Structure formats: C-alpha cells, structure tokens
Amino acid sequence: MTSETPNILSWNVRGLNTPAHCLTVHETVSATPCHIACFQETKLHTIDQSLANFLGGYRLNKFAYKPAHGTRGGILVAWNENIIEVHNTAFGRYSLTTMMTVRSTGQFFKLITVYGPSRRPEKEAFLQHLRDLKPQDDTNGSF
C-alpha cells in the first residue's frame, strides 16, 4: 500500500462457533483487499492468535477482541500490522475502540466497532453508549 486509504471490511458474522462459519469468513477476507476487518456477533468467549490469523486470511496478523457474553455479542477487529499501527484499544459495554495510524502516511483515525443488544430493555443503555462514544467537536480523535 502506498498512500492510499485503508480498506475496511465490517461484517455481522452471526457466530464464529462452527468450522463452516470460520471457513466462510476466511475465504471472504482472503478474497478482499481489506487492511482491517471488523466482525460483530462472533459469539466467542476467547480468540487466540491462530484463530485470528485464520479468520484474517493470514494477512491480517494482529487483533483485538471483546468476548461474547453467553451466546450474545462478541467483537473482533483484525488488521495488517505492516499497513496499520494500533496505539490504544478501549473496551466499552457494547464497543471496541482502537486508535489506528496508516504507516505510509501517518494519518490516524479512531475506529469504533459496536454490537448492540437485541433485547428491548437494553436499547436505551446502548443508545446512550453510542452518544458517549461520539467525539467532541474539538477532539483530534484521541481517547
């Protein structure tokens, strides 16, 4: 990658708890030019380096994840460390936030990946969480 904008793939995978789902994600990511992939609803409690590498098509070699709660939620963000540098990672109730820098340009940005609750009583807390994530007008994208 020269000075181009990074390609980002975002996907509600609806569970990565079967080999067939993992293979579909692997094949799809491998067929795209993405530098960053965000997966919501992983339904996984743990993700190790081996699984993250496989899901990232062996090109997205770094990752951060927010575990699922029971059979709900779970977020995985994977990136190519040769293209993207991650400075900070923060975990919210419904989100995973990373500060990323494009190595070739020095351009930085905040990437926020969210997965909201499906139950109505939790919707207001989720919407408040989204409002809290909104950057202030005078921010430079930092935490």
| Residue where the block lists tokens 């980002």 | 8
Spatial separation of the C-alpha atoms in residues 63 and 80, rounded to whole Å: 9
Structure tokens at 16: 């990565």
Q: What pLDDT score was predicted for residue 84?
A: 97
Domains and CATH numbers, the chain: 8-133 (3.60.10.10)
Express each pLDDT in 13-61 by its tens digit. Answer: 999 999 999 999 999 999 999 999 999 999 999 999 999 999 999 999 9
- pLDDT of 65 higher than 70: yes
Spatial separation of the C-alpha atoms in residues 53 and 80, rounded to whole Å: 10
Express each pLDDT in 76-129 by its tens digit. Answer: 999 999 999 999 999 999 999 999 999 999 999 999 999 988 788 888 888 888
- pLDDT of 7 higher than 60: yes
More confident residue, 55 or 131: 55
pTM of the shown model: 0.89
